[in-house]
Amino acid sequence: MAKLFLTFLFCTTSAIAKCQDLEPRVYANLPTGTNAVALVYGYSTGNVLTDPSKPIAGAKLHAHNIGLGYIRTFGLFKKLARVQIALPYSNLVGKATINGKDTGAARSGFGDTRIRFGINFSGSPALKPADFRRYEQKTIAGVSIVFSVPTGLYHKDKLINLGSNRWAIKPEFGISHHFKHLYAEAYGGVWFYTDNNAFLTNKVQKQEPVFSFQAHLCYYFKNGMWIGVNGNWFNGGKTFVDNSPYGDLQDNWRMGGTFSTPIAKQHSLKLQFHVGAFTSTGYDYNVVSLGYQYIFFSKKK
């Protein structure tokens, strides 16, 4: 079990659409005092949307994303807790059909910052690295709260932006279980959004909550390498502009795969892709990403 924690890496390219994360091992157990820095490159093509409340018919966009992330684990009430920060930078180009007219778009800049705080309240004691080597994970349950901070580039007179100009918060519950070589995990949550009072210059954009659920199944090899299959479902999110209906996420499903391998002590690489399995409002796009991660431990006092 000790090798497994060296392969966790978190998503930093998910700012394109907040409700569509596909990231395994969010609720796995780790030693306290673990720090990780990740650098991720992702490429997205298709009907890529920077805001999940803005369905755009006929959008054909290409986005190059670079994400920088940091995670730290610590003990809280003798349980494992973690805080995670991710900041994306994107270059997006393409065209879309808006109000019956073809229009081009090109945007470069930072996206919205993502902050996650979580605690595993069952099956996941706070263990130092020396004690963690003897730990065998079974079933873990935990909760998280995720914040989307509106730090991204936003032009109030444009429909396509890298930032959303509003806050979002998602409470989430997750459960995971480790078998001999398999690791299974599932978690669900609800995104809540504040209003955007500068939508298309001076309009007010409101969005109802978005329900999301994802599940992962990973297989681990003896050398610490692992592969996984990932699935995501999200529903809801009806949007209003100046109290008039504007859009609805309805039913959307995404599927993907993950491959991770250690390349040296405390260093690992991860390749991930996901595609739209079913979409009702134009979320038909593909994503592939490659991430590098370095893990280090806080010095003992």
Interval 203-227: pLDDT, tens: 999 999 989 999 999 999 988 899 9
User: What is residue 244's three-state secondary structure?
Assistant: strand
Name the residue with higher pLDDT: 6 or 206.
Answer: 206
Quick one: average pLDDT of 152-171? 91
pTM of this structure: 0.89
Separation between Cα atoms, residue 27 and residue 34, nearest integer Å: 14
Residue with tokens 């090899």, as numbered in its chain: 221
Name the residue with higher pLDDT: 301 or 229.
Answer: 229
Domains parsed from the chain with CATH numbers: 4-297 (2.40.128.130)
Instruction: For strands 34-46 and 139-149, give the pairing.
Output: unpaired
Percent of residues, the chain, with pLDDT higher than 70: 82
User: Nearest to residue 254, comparing CAs of 289, 217, 212?
Assistant: 212
For residue 160, the model assigns a pLDDT of: 81
Question: pLDDT class for 237, splitting at 50, 70, 90?
Answer: confident
Of the given ranges (11-25, 130-144, 167-181, 258-272), which has the lowest mean pLDDT? 11-25
